[in-house]
Structure 1
Amino acid sequence: MPQPWNAAAIAEKFGIAAADLAIEVIPHSADGVEYESVLLFNKAAPPTTGILAVPNYFGMRQQALEIAAATVSAGHAVFVADVFGTHLRPATPDEAVAAITPLKKDRAELRKRMNAVLEVFRGQQKIRIAADKFGACGFCFGGTAALELARSGADVRGTVSLHGALDTPAPETSKIRGAVLVLHGVQDPSVPRERVNGFIDEMSAANVDWQLVNYGQAGHSFTDPEANAPGFFYHRQTAGRASVALKNFFGELFA
């Protein structure tokens, strides 16, 4: 049964009238697993660019759609990616950690799922987006997933990680083709300084167009209004600044 999404709340975050919001549940399958991603776009001003957005470790839920809409905005079609499958909808932090742990350990599988959902996005007939007008972003675990998509050599113009993990098992094998923007909270205990430095070394060695923005008052989960723990907390000012940075990044790439 389809999730009863609160379209009005999503439209408000998107900055458009509820009547103008197209919200489509997109079923897809791979390797015997059923998935349901969600396509969001402004019917009143059909987009010509698309952003694949990967939620945090809770995966597909109302808040994931609202955060993606608020951060990316209605200037693009937004495809909120289900990378867990319909059988896996974490309800508690422990369940969410259990959901992402296998994918963090098996980056090849994570890359495979990310490339599969990108192709589903590319195949949507209700929007008209040129092959070179796709990007990706992700939040927390989703930032990790988006970076692994880029490292796999996927054809995306740009990738943005918002408070995601930055490490990868074999950085020397990265095949990044597009630009990269990392939006990082300095107080994030899950991404210590040595991992930030490792990411800098990886990007520099790959000779790609990359940027790293450090937010001094932010930790992990700074876009998540429900996050409230030491090192893992919402920071409204940083969430707003990160949204502006993401919009400027894709605005430059798609100009």
Structure 2
Amino acid sequence: MPNVPGMTVTTRSVTYPADGLVMVSHLALPDGDGRRPAVLVGPEGPGLNAFQRRRADALAELGYVALAFDIHGGRWLADPEEMLARCLPLLGDPERMRDIGHAALDAVRAEERTDPDRIAAIGYGTGGAIGLELARAGVPLRAVATVNGLITGRPGEAAGIGCPVWAGVGSDDPIQPPEQREAFTAEMAQAGVDWRLVVYGGAQHAFHHPPTRPDGSIAEDGTYGQTVLPGVAYHARHAQRAWDDVVALLGECLPLDVAPTAA
């Protein structure tokens, strides 16, 4: 049965090689000793920080094994120019994205608490695009959710997606404009994917992510402590709504009301 929110969560760092780097990911485990469904949590362009770690912890409180995975070898890229210099080539190279995703997938599968047949991927920006590439590659995920990561794949490869896809984007996002949303939904429809797109009115890019300091920590006073790209803004109400939508997708496609199996 699912865990009760607020129960003890065990966390640890998990390191492994990918993309020529040593990735430092964050693993969160629920109470108990049986196998549980697992969720990959992919970060946005600047990298893994406290926000995604908290998301993994929240999923573990619900009863999932959760791995918030690294994409920059343990670094948080606070400088937008440095972030774009790394992420734009990455987003243009599906094989590199898949390699990073497969390494994270292998890491969560190596955890004895993981049910290897029940894994989903959620992600933000670059991390969402990586989850989609895993699905396009035919990885048997149970669901994919991407917030601000509506990147179209190579022609015909969406046919490899065998699970529901949920996508969320802000209506005023200049980085994911209407034409990009239309290209993404056309790709999903042409491939016959079970897809959903939620457009959050008035929200901009990275609306889900609270303001941060230069070290990637959450700025509890709600003010940005680092330079952000134009069109990036936090929207607290829609951030919560998007999270609720993601959790609902997991409840539908990766239910927790299945008795845990022995590890």
1:213 positional shift: 1.0
Residue 100 of structure 1, aligned match among 81, 87, 96: 87
1:81 corresponds in structure 2 to 69
2:136 corresponds in structure 1 to 151
Higher relative contact order (Cα pairs below 8 Å, separated by 6+ residues)? 2
Q: Secondary structure at the match of 2:167?
A: strand
1:118 corresponds in structure 2 to 105
Residue 12 of structure 2, aligned match among 19, 24, 33: 24
2: CA distance, partners of 1:211 / 1:136: 15
1:55 corresponds in structure 2 to 43
1:23 positional shift: 0.8
| Kept after mapping to 1: 8 A contact 2:19/2:96 | no
Distance 1:32 1:191, change over 3 A: closer
2:27 corresponds in structure 1 to 39
1: CA distance, partners of 2:248 / 2:184: 22
Alignment of 1:211-250 (within 5 A): 211-226=196-211, 231-250=231-250
Distance 1:74 1:192, change over 3 A: same
**What runs of 5+ residues in structure 1 fail to find an aligned partner?**
1-13
- Compute the TM-score of the two structures, normalised by the length of structure 2: 0.81
Q: Secondary structure at the match of 2:152?
A: coil
**What runs of 5+ residues in structure 2 fail to find an aligned partner?**
213-223, 256-263
1:131 corresponds in structure 2 to 116
| Kept after mapping to 1: 8 A contact 2:37/2:119 | yes
2: CA distance, partners of 1:231 / 1:91: 16
Relative to total residues, which structure has the larger helix share, 1 or 2?
Answer: 1
What letter is aligned with 1:16?
Answer: G
1:69 positional shift: 4.0
Q: Secondary structure at the match of 1:241?
A: helix
Q: Residues 72-124 of structure 1: CA distance to partner in whole angstroms, max 9, x if unpaired? A: 462222101112224x4423222222221221121211112211211111111
2: CA distance, partners of 1:101 / 1:184: 19
What letter is aligned with 1:200?
Answer: T
1:204 corresponds in structure 2 to 189
Distance 1:200 1:50, change over 3 A: same
User: Could you say what the CA RMSD is over the residues aligned between the two structures, in angstroms?
Assistant: 2.3
1: CA distance, partners of 2:35 / 2:174: 37
Distance 1:130 1:45, change over 3 A: closer
Q: Residues 171-219 of structure 1: CA distance to partner in whole angstroms, max 9, x if unpaired? A: 4222112110001111110111111111111111111211111111211
User: Alignment identity in percent?
Assistant: 29
Distance 1:131 1:182, change over 3 A: same
1:251 positional shift: 0.6
Distance 1:32 1:100, change over 3 A: closer
What letter is aligned with 2:156?
Answer: E
Correspondence 1:172 to 2:156: yes
- Compute the TM-score of the two structures, normalised by the length of structure 1: 0.83
Distance 1:32 1:238, change over 3 A: closer
1: CA distance, partners of 2:168 / 2:29: 24
